[in-house]
C-alpha cells in the first residue's frame, strides 16, 4: 500500500474532487480549452479545471452547437489533465448521443483519469445556453436513462457524474427544474447543476432553497455575476464554475494587441502588454537554463 493510501488521502483526482465537494468551502472551477489555459487556471489558485465545450468549440473557430466530436473533446480534456495536478471536470454537452453513447463516453473519460463529467438535458444537437434561440429539452425520464447508463458504466469507479438541467434556460418553471434535478439524482447523479441566464441570482437561490436532497448543487454565475461564492455556498451550492471568463479575456486582449501591432507596424509597440518569452517557457515546463529575456 502506498504512503498516500495509508494516510487515507484520495489516490485519484476524482477522489480529491469528492473530498473537496464535502469540504467547508465552495469548490471553484474555471473554464479552459487546452493544456496552457489549464495550467493558468491552476497557477491562479483555483480548485479545478472546467473543460468547457464552449471554449473548446471556440478554439476550433466553431459555434458551441454539437459540431466538435467526442474524440476532440476527449483529447482536449486529456491534454488539460496531463499537465495539471487539480481535477478536470469535462463539459460533455448532451453525452454524445443516447444511453449507449453516454456509457461509452464515461468509460473513455474515466480510463484517462478525468475527475468528472457533466451532461445536460437538452436535445442533440444542442446550442449554447446563452444563444438567442429556443432551447429544446429531452424528456426527464429519457435523460435519466443516460445518467443511469453512465453510473452503471463506471462499475464502482469514483468519477463524479454531474447532471445539468437546462429547464430554467428553456423557460420552464421552477417546479419542473426541481423535479428534473430530483429525477437525475435518483438515477445516479453525484451532483446537479441548475443553469440560469437570469441577470440576478434569484432563480438559482430559489432552486437551492427548495432543494430537499443531500446531493451537491452546482452554479455557473455567467450572467448573475454579482453573487459571491460564499453566498452561493451558504445557499447550498458546493461547486461554482467560472465557465468562460478566461477565453473572453483572451479574445479581448489578443484582439486589442493585434490591432495595436497592425497600426504601429513595429513589435516594440506591444511589448508592454504581452508576456515575456520566459513566462511562456515557465508555463511550458522549459528548463530554466533555456529561458531567454525577450
Report residue 264 CA to chain centroid gap: 38
User: How many H-runs (helices) and E-runs (strands) does the chain carry?
Assistant: 12, 8
Helix ranges (H only) for the chain are 3-7, 13-21, 35-43, 53-59, 70-82, 99-111, 140-154, 174-187, 202-210, 229-235, 245-264, 277-284
Neighbours of 133 (CB within 10 A): 9
Q: Are β-strands 88-91 and 191-194 bridged in parallel, bridged antiparallel, or unpaired?
A: unpaired
The rounded distance, in Å, linking the Cα atoms of 107 and 153 is 6
Which of 45, 26, 49, 23 lies closest to 37, judged by CA? 49
The rounded distance, in Å, linking the Cα atoms of 240 and 208 is 13
Q: Which residue has the cell 489555459?
A: 37
Which of 123, 130, 110, 145 lies closest to 52, judged by CA? 130
SS3 assignment, position 73: helix
Selected catalytic residue, list 47, 64, 93, 190: 64
In sequence order, what are the residues at sequence separation of 6 or more whose Cβ sits closer than 8 angstroms to the Cβ of residue 216?
Answer: 21, 190, 191, 192, 237, 238, 239
Please list the residues that pair with 241 across neighbouring strands: 29
The three cell numbers locating residue 70 = 467526442
Active-site residue flag, 64: yes
Active site residues: 64
Amino acid at each position: 500500500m502506498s504512503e498516500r493510501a495509508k494516510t487515507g488521502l484520495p489516490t485519484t483526482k476524482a477522489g480529491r474532487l469528492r473530498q473537496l465537494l464535502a469540504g467547508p468551502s465552495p469548490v471553484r472551477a474555471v473554464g479552459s480549452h487546452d493544456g496552457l489555459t489549464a495550467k493558468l487556471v491552476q497557477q491562479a489558485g483555483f480548485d479545478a479545471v472546467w473543460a468547457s465545450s464552449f471554449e473548446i468549440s471556440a478554439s476550433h473557430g466553431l459555434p458551441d452547437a454539437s459540431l466538435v466530436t467526442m474524440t476532440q473533446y476527449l483529447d482536449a480534456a486529456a491534454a488539460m489533465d496531463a499537465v495539471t495536478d487539480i481535477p478536470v471536470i469535462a463539459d460533455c454537452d448532451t453525452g454524445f448521443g443516447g444511453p449507449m453513447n453516454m456509457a461509452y463516453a464515461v468509460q473513455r473519460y474515466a480510463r484517462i483519469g478525468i475527475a468528472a463529467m457533466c451532461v445536460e438535458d437538452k436535445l442533440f444537437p444542442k446550442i449554447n445556453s446563452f444563444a438567442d434561440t429556443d432551447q429544446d429539452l429531452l424528456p426527464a425520464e429519457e435523460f435519466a436513462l443516460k445518467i443511469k447508463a453512465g453510473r452503471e458504466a463506471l462499475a464502482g469507479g469514483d468519477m463524479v457524474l454531474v447532471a445539468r438541467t437546462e429547464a430554467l434556460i428553456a423557460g420552464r418553471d421552477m417546479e419542473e427544474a426541481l423535479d428534473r434535478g430530483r429525477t437525475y439524482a435518483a438515477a445516479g447523479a453525484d451532483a446537479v447543476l441548475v443553469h440560469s441566464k437570469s441577470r440576478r441570482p434569484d432563480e438559482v437561490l430559489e432552486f437551492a432553497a427548495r432543494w430537499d436532497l443531500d446531493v451537491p448543487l452546482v452554479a455557473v454565475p455567467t450572467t448573475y455575476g454579482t453573487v459571491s461564492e460564499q453566498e452561493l455556498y451558504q445557499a447550498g451550492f458546493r461547486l461554482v464554475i467560472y465557465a468562460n471568463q478566461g477565453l473572453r479575456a483572451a479574445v479581448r486582449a489578443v484582439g486589442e494587441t493585434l490591432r495595436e501591432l497592425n497600426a504601429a507596424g513595429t513589435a516594440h509597440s506591444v511589448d508592454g502588454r504581452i508576456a515575456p518569452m520566459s513566462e511562456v517557457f515557465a508555463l511550458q515546463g522549459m528548463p530554466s537554463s533555456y529561458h531567454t529575456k525577450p
